[in-house]
Amino acid sequence: MKKPVRDRKPPVNDAAGAATAAPFVPPTASLRVLSAAAHTCRGCDLYKTATQVVFGAGPRHARVVFIGEQPGDQEDRQGEPFVGPAGALFDKALADAGIPRKTAYVTNAVKHFKWEPRGKRRIHKKPRVSEVKACRPWLDAELQAIQPRIIVCLGATAAQAVFGSQFKLMQQRGKVLPTALGAQGLATIHPSAVLRATDAESRRNAYEMLVADLKIVAGLL
Query: For binding to ligand SF4 (CB under 6 A), which residues are involved?
Result: 21, 38, 41-44, 46-47, 53, 110-112, 134-135, 138
- Rounded to a whole number of angstroms, the minimum distance from the CB of residue 66 to ligand SF4 is 18
Contact indicator for 94, 104 with CB cutoff of 8 Å? yes
Q: Which is nearer to ligand SF4, 63 or 77 (CB)?
A: 77
- As beta bridge partners, residue 177 has 185
- Rounded to a whole number of angstroms, the minimum distance from the CB of residue 134 to ligand SF4 is 4
Q: Which is nearer to ligand SF4, 128 or 149 (CB)?
A: 128
- φ, ψ for residue 72, nearest 5 deg: -100, -170
Which of 28, 25, 57 lies closest to 41, judged by CA? 25
- As beta bridge partners, residue 178 has 184
Q: Which is nearer to ligand SF4, 38 or 94 (CB)?
A: 38
Query: What is the distance between the alpha carbons of residues 45 and 11, in angstroms, rounded to a whole number?
Result: 6
- Rounded to a whole number of angstroms, the minimum distance from the CB of residue 59 to ligand SF4 is 22
Closest chain position to ligand SF4 (CB): 43
Q: Which is nearer to ligand SF4, 66 or 207 (CB)?
A: 66
- As beta bridge partners, residue 154 has 188
- Rounded to a whole number of angstroms, the minimum distance from the CB of residue 27 to ligand SF4 is 17
Q: Which is nearer to ligand SF4, 43 or 148 (CB)?
A: 43
Which of 185, 179, 124 lies closest to 154, judged by CA? 185
- Rounded to a whole number of angstroms, the minimum distance from the CB of residue 208 to ligand SF4 is 33
Q: Which is nearer to ligand SF4, 142 or 213 (CB)?
A: 142
- Rounded to a whole number of angstroms, the minimum distance from the CB of residue 22 to ligand SF4 is 9
Query: What is the distance between the alpha carbons of residues 211 and 175, in angstroms, rounded to a whole number?
Result: 14
> Strands 184-188 and 150-154, how do they pair?
parallel
∠140-22-53 over CA atoms, to 5°? 75
- As beta bridge partners, residue 206 has none
